[in-house]
Structure 1
Amino acid sequence: MKITVMTSDEQILTLDVDREESVENLKALLEVETKIPLQQQQLLYNGREMRNAEKLGALGVGDGDLVMMVSKASSFRSRESVNEAAFNPDGSAVDPSAFQQQLRGDSNVMTQLFQSDPELAQAILGNDLNKLQDLLRARNLQRSELQRQQEEEMALLYADPFDVDAQRKIEAAIRQKGIDENWAAALEYNPEAFARVVMLYVDMEVNGVPLKAFVDSGAQSTIISRSCAERCGLLRLLDTRYRGIAHGVGQSEIVGRIHVAPIKIGSIFYPCSFTVLDSPNMEFLFGLDMLRKHQCIIDLKENVLRVGGGEVAVPFLAEKDIPTRLLEEERYAKEASSSGAQAKSAAKDSIPAGAPPGGSTDKNSSQGPDFEAKVAKLVELGFGREQVIQALKFFDGNEEQAAGFLFGG
């Protein structure tokens, strides 16, 4: 293992020693390097004097640790310097101000620190002694944890190969090593995976009212909250026949549907249909139905939403431009839509008040030749077979009402 030795004259030495080496042998090595006789050396680790007969490993000295060395024959100023640079058992400096000034005055030490631990180097150059002490304690904990892991690994190496518990620990250590290597590789090659992903928002106007729309291609329907619809002056168009319950991660009440209203994207107006939810936490979600209807392209390379096959391109908002309340909206939007579950629920659970009484969804009803002819006719219009069958069953085989419902959805 490698340890760092700092002398009273601020000389920094890096030595490669064995964990089972005695303190006396370490002093002999330092005598060669510093020309200070072994008998005049005093070594301190974490503020405690190291005795000649003691082993480095027994004292807790680990890889990368710092050991202070002073000469017993040095002047009072040198002894004072040692006391200033001594460490507490938790790794913090006894006198952080003196420790900081001592390191600041050594350009070689600071150069090494900037290369090996830039965060600590910045703390030493800064004015926050509490931050410096916290970093020193953190580094001490890291060293202790590393030492503990190394001791466990050594114990496993000498464990009985036929011991079931030892084999289990070895297997866990190997697995954890693989996880750690994978994590390190991700930090190096895919660091953005650890950052928070900001969802896609664009500026739109709904019935002349500016809004920040949450673009969600995983939601089958475009959703607007009741309060937002009221603010946009659209509640007068609310069709309550389409009320129901939307089931997703959670569930929300569908208060109705607004069949068409103008939205402005860029400088162009487009017709849009909305499912209205009684969900105050979710304002406006631009879903897959309108994305497909208006041939939208989510262009992440240019970071824009292209509408109408590219006739309009509006930029996605940066995080600083999104109100904090809308960032919470993402979670509620998923509860409402559950990546499409909401829209399916709306189709299944929204029973229009004007639907014929006794409307049945029984699989055995209306499945004659006429029913199949109606299915084929509606499928030709571009709807899915299952969707058509559900709509026809929903309206007791009424082809016109089913078609209206499908076109409206």
Structure 2
Amino acid sequence: MKITVMTADEQFITLDVDRDESVENVKALLEVETRVSLQQQQLLFNGKEIRNTERLSSLGVGEGDLLMMSTVSPATRAPTNDLSFNPDGSAVNPEAFQQHLRRNGDMIAQLLQNDPPLAQAILGDNIENLQNLLRERHQQKMELQRRQEEELALMYADPFDVESQRKIEAAIRQKGIDENWAAALEHNPEAFARVVMLYVDMEVNGVPLKAFVDSGAQSTIISKSCAERCGLLRLLDQRYKGIAHGVGQTEILGRIHVAPIKIGNVFYPCSFMVLDSPNMEFLFGLDMLRKHQCIIDLKDNVLRVGGGEVSVPFLQEKDIPSHFLDEERYSRGAGSTPGSSGTKEKKENLPAAAGSSGTTHGGPAQGPDFEAKVAKLIELGFGREQVIQALNFFNGNEEQAAGFLFGG
């Protein structure tokens, strides 16, 4: 049944309680709502004070009845039993507050059903977690109260005041954002979860590796340390040195023109760009995905190679080493060189630069003259006239021109 309690400051609180609920439990509910400790509450029904041990049914309290709550000063209360709250919402004596609620089986059962996080904090062994949750709830309550006061003030604001209209516009916009967020939580909750990148098990020159599959990277990349571990560093062609620009810089040490990789039970030839990037091990890029007619099948969660002759499952998050989760960031940091991102989303993460002063598609590093810059940007897939306009616009700055071209 529902009852209404009027507090000393004339606030009305509606509680959903059982007919046989004890007065003490009602006070405990009011403690959460009003932050007035149970010992400081005095409840009156029909002008008479009701005791904690009494039950609502025996007092004749029924559906829709009104109770009055006043606040008293418990002079005899011992400090160790203080169940009041600090201004930030935390309990003055969290141990006493926790034990008090634990002893109330009905209250715990109700919290487990209606507020599991608070129930778990009360039943747990970490007092600080309980304090933090109480502070968080208090902050949310204060924020809600502040927003309600602002909305109420805007309702009576001068319609010809520019500042008031600006605040009304901001409030309407925020309301739309909140509604959109709530709709996303209901219809698209997975959008708020972390997306696990695509990894598969491969062997490079007989050495097992976990390969990061990235269709947004122009070329397949292997780190110097990984190439050395696979016994491929002796094949490094240093004529293909360069500098990859992006979020920071990464040195291109050269190129390994061909080496065997094993996907499933089949061997395939593969070429690599070797980067001086200790945090990035092996990235299987678009060049090899195209060459071997790979299909990224997200429905069956497999990588199909050779048009489907081989299928290998993408690894689950538990099977991916934690330090590998940084590989996406390092692949983006390689800019538009072999490890660069080709998708719009990733390009937006490279605002500083997107070009390369080194090799892009395997050609040796060129000189700094204008035509060389034009040639390198053309190799990235842009038209000559488009490249020349961008270079002229940025006074010959190759990196800024490349960033403009990718951003466009």
The TM-score with structure 2 as length reference comes to 0.67
Query: Which residue does the alignment assign to 1:188?
Result: 186
In the alignment, does 2:99 pair up with 1:101? yes
Contact 2:359 2:365 in 1 (8 A): no
Alpha-carbon spacing, 1:241–1:352, altered in 2? closer, same or farther (3 Å)? farther
Alignment of 1:194-343 (within 5 A): 194-336=192-334, 337-340=339-342
Query: Which residue does the alignment assign to 2:48?
Result: 37
User: Residue 118 of structure 1 is aligned with which of 116, 119, 141?
Assistant: 116
- Report the Cα distance in structure 1 between the residues aligned to 2:79 and 2:111, rounded to whole angstroms: 20
Query: Which residue does the alignment assign to 2:24?
Result: 9
SS at match of 1:329: helix
Q: CA deviation at 1:120?
A: 0.7
Alpha-carbon spacing, 1:14–1:208, altered in 2? closer, same or farther (3 Å)? closer
Alpha-carbon spacing, 1:352–1:202, altered in 2? closer, same or farther (3 Å)? same
SS at match of 1:252: strand
Contact 2:252 2:358 in 1 (8 A): no
Contact 1:3 1:14 in 2 (8 A): no
Query: Which residue does the alignment assign to 1:176?
Result: 174
Contact 1:245 1:350 in 2 (8 A): no
Alpha-carbon spacing, 1:310–1:169, altered in 2? closer, same or farther (3 Å)? same
Alpha-carbon spacing, 1:87–1:146, altered in 2? closer, same or farther (3 Å)? same
Q: Which amino acid aligns with 2:192?
A: F
Query: Which residue does the alignment assign to 2:163?
Result: 165
- Report the Cα distance in structure 2 between the residues aligned to 1:81 and 1:243, rounded to whole angstroms: 73
Residue deviations 1:254-306, cap 9 Å, x none?
22222211001111111111122232332211011111111111111221111
Alignment of 1:332-371 (within 5 A): 332-336=330-334, 337-340=339-342, 346-347=359-360, 350-351=363-364
Query: Which residue does the alignment assign to 1:22?
Result: none
- Report the Cα distance in structure 1 between the residues aligned to 2:302 and 2:157, rounded to whole angstroms: 60
- Report the Cα distance in structure 2 between the residues aligned to 1:296 and 1:213, rounded to whole angstroms: 14
Alpha-carbon spacing, 1:295–1:2, altered in 2? closer, same or farther (3 Å)? farther
Contact 2:358 2:365 in 1 (8 A): no
- Report the Cα distance in structure 2 between the residues aligned to 1:98 and 1:361, rounded to whole angstroms: 76
Alpha-carbon spacing, 1:86–1:224, altered in 2? closer, same or farther (3 Å)? closer
SS at match of 2:201: strand
- Report the Cα distance in structure 2 between the residues aligned to 1:81 and 1:352, rounded to whole angstroms: 77
| Structure 1 unmatched ranges of 5 or more | 20-25, 43-66, 365-383, 388-409
Alpha-carbon spacing, 1:148–1:251, altered in 2? closer, same or farther (3 Å)? same
Which shows bigger deviation, 191-200 or 285-294? 191-200
In the alignment, does 2:126 pair up with 1:128? yes
Q: CA deviation at 1:69?
A: 6.0
- Report the Cα distance in structure 2 between the residues aligned to 1:142 and 1:209, rounded to whole angstroms: 53
Q: Which amino acid aligns with 1:255?
A: L
Contact 1:240 1:352 in 2 (8 A): no
Q: CA deviation at 1:98?
A: 3.4
Q: Which amino acid aligns with 2:341?
A: S
Residue deviations 1:30-49, cap 9 Å, x none?
634xx5626x899xxxxxxx
Contact 2:220 2:273 in 1 (8 A): yes
CA RMSD in angstroms comes to 4.0
Contact 2:220 2:271 in 1 (8 A): yes
- Report the Cα distance in structure 2 between the residues aligned to 1:385 and 1:134, rounded to whole angstroms: 54
Q: Which amino acid aligns with 2:223?
A: S
SS at match of 2:311: strand
SS at match of 2:195: coil
Which shows bigger deviation, 155-164 or 322-331? 322-331
Q: Which amino acid aligns with 1:163?
A: D
Which shows bigger deviation, 97-106 or 314-323? 97-106
Q: CA deviation at 1:308?
A: 1.1
Residue deviations 1:178-212, cap 9 Å, x none?
11121222222222222222211111111111111
Q: CA deviation at 1:134?
A: 2.4
SS at match of 2:234: helix
| Structure 2 unmatched ranges of 5 or more | 1-10, 16-20, 35-40, 53-67, 343-353, 376-380, 385-408
- Report the Cα distance in structure 2 between the residues aligned to 1:168 and 1:90, rounded to whole angstroms: 31
Q: CA deviation at 1:343?
A: 9.0
Alpha-carbon spacing, 1:347–1:103, altered in 2? closer, same or farther (3 Å)? closer
Determine what percentage of the aligned residue pairs are the same residue.
67
- Report the Cα distance in structure 2 between the residues aligned to 1:385 and 1:117, rounded to whole angstroms: 57
SS at match of 1:218: coil
- Report the Cα distance in structure 2 between the residues aligned to 1:219 and 1:295, rounded to whole angstroms: 16
- Report the Cα distance in structure 2 between the residues aligned to 1:144 and 1:257, rounded to whole angstroms: 60
Q: Which amino acid aligns with 1:10?
A: N
Aligned length: 322
Q: CA deviation at 1:316?
A: 1.3
Q: Which has the larger radius of gyration?
A: 1
